[in-house]
Amino acid sequence: MQGSRAELYAAFKAKDSRFDGRFFVGIRTTGVYCRPVCRARLAKAENCEYFASAAAAQQAGYRPCLMCRPEQAPGLCPADGAGAVAARAALMMEALPGEGESLDTVARTLGYSPRHLRRLFVAAFGVTPVGYAQASRLLLAKNLLTDTGLSVTEVAMAAGFGSLRRMNGLFKKQYRLSPTALRRQAAGGAPGRGVTVALGYRPPYPFGETLRFLAQRAIPGVETVENGEYARTVRLRGRDGGALTGWIRIGHLPGRGALGVTLSETLVPALPQVLSRVKRLFDLYCEPDAVYRALEGMNRLRPGLCRPGTRVPGCFDPFEMAVRAVLGQQITVKAANTLAGRLALELGTPVETGIPGLARAFPEKEDILALGGGIRERLGALGVLSARADCILGLAGALSRGEVALDLSADPERDIEKLKEIRGIGDWTAQYLAMRAMGWPDAFPAADAGLKKALPGRTPGELRALAEAWRPWRSYAVMNLWNALP
């Protein structure tokens, strides 16, 4: 959290959306804490206390505001810099399925000792990792109690608490009221098909542009874009290691500055995982003002080349994204979609969705590894070249052995080089996966045909040199260039 008390109060007074989720304001006279965009009556400056995270505000004894809903505030972008490791760790903790998960595992996955990660975390968020994880579960439970028709017991399980008693105890300790009382105050949502949760973003958010990008690359049977919504099948591992299947649907709630995420009730046990993946898919952690300030100079190359609010669509399933990228090498986007759809139909898991066009979950790496030496023949019958089949098998093996990472645990610069060691994966594919699967904001596939069309007459080396001025947001520069194409 940067800025003097006067600067933070000025942002709070202006209801400046650029700072939403970057700090929180505790109001001493009411005992609640708010987002900087809260529309409640403005408190006096001397009655305000500032925190780097919602968890730190809760630790100080403040309760979340029922008007501005801190649980819907966008998170922090895990960009390069001193706070990047802590931000990545925070995102991983938000996706943990329950209290039984070891936070030490997060530290080891990121390559740090638990003690060092704790120091980084406290410096970035003003609270320990354990406190942050607990606050995340409480805020998710509050969101579910306010907006869904799930029973209080179902909320406790979905938010990752081991028991209703545990959630009740923490609610009374942190919020000084029971979950049932909170639901009465907030007039919780009514039962319906699926469970809907709102996830906030920092405006502007070009939802239509993001939707068009996803629609062009949608895998038949797995993803669909219809009536202004994105929908897909889901296959995840539950807390007990068993498979959970279902569907999700994402629409825009512009009046609330949020996306509405509806998921089948079969996925409620994996709710933290689902929401974490949706946030990454739709780049809800983006800080568009910081990105635009860094890339505004692109408009000197051509007016309107860089537009405020541009997002980098991520992915819901990193392995699915990686296979789709390999299939898309040197062929059209439409042809790659067709091949990916055939692969899902042949090797994927059937899923009952009730949504036209959605019937299969994409195969997991274990499904690919099970093909072994017969992969060329099996995928060849679908129209996949032998070299691509071998590459997909090699990728599945590398991921399974932990030799390369494609999720929040990735070290992008290291894992790009690891990817390129897999036969059939070059710099373009590795950079593309860093951009969309790893969520790295500074990837740059210099040899991309679209970049050459958007900035004609330049070699890949010249494009790289030009893009040095766009660090650490080169992924967003790529999206702006792609969006500028006809």
DSSP assignment, residue 98? S
Distance CA 93, CA 321 (A): 23
Q: Which of 20, 283, 415, 448 is catalytic?
A: 448
Contact 395, 422 (CB under 8 A): yes
**Who's near 230: CB < 8 A, 6+ residues apart?**
211, 214, 215, 223, 224, 249, 250, 251
Q: Which residues of the chain have pLDDT under 70?
A: 1, 79-82, 97-103, 186-193
The CA–CA distances, whole Å, from 471 to 19, 314, 481 equal: 21, 19, 15
Distance CA 337, CA 316 (A): 16
Distance CA 138, CA 133 (A): 9
Known catalytic residue: 34? yes
pTM of the model: 0.92
Interior CA angle at 320 toward 235 and 396, to 5°?
A: 100
Distance CA 321, CA 344 (A): 13
Cis peptide before 204 (omega within 30 of 0): yes
Q: Which of 34, 38, 68, 315 is catalytic?
A: 34
Interior CA angle at 136 toward 133 and 138, to 5°?
A: 115
Picking from 184, 192, 197, the residue whose alpha carbon sits closest to that of residue 149 is 192
For the chain, state the CA radius of gyration.
22
| pLDDT score of 244 | 95
Distance CA 437, CA 315 (A): 6
Picking from 420, 472, 131, 77, the residue whose alpha carbon sits closest to that of residue 279 is 77
CATH code, residues 193-293+308-428? 3.30.310.20
Exposure letters 399-432 (e unless 16+ CB within 10 A, then b): beeeebbbbbbbebeebbebbeebebbebbbbbb
Q: What length does the chain have? A: 486
Where do the domains of the chain lie?
A: 5-67, 84-186, 193-293+308-428
| pLDDT score of 20 | 94
Q: CATH homologous superfamily of domain 5-67?
A: DNA Methylphosphotriester Repair Domain (3.40.10.10)
**For residue 255, how many C-alpha atoms fall within 13 Å in the half-sphere facing its CB?**
0
Known catalytic residue: 286? no
Architecture per CATH, 84-186 = Orthogonal Bundle (1.10)
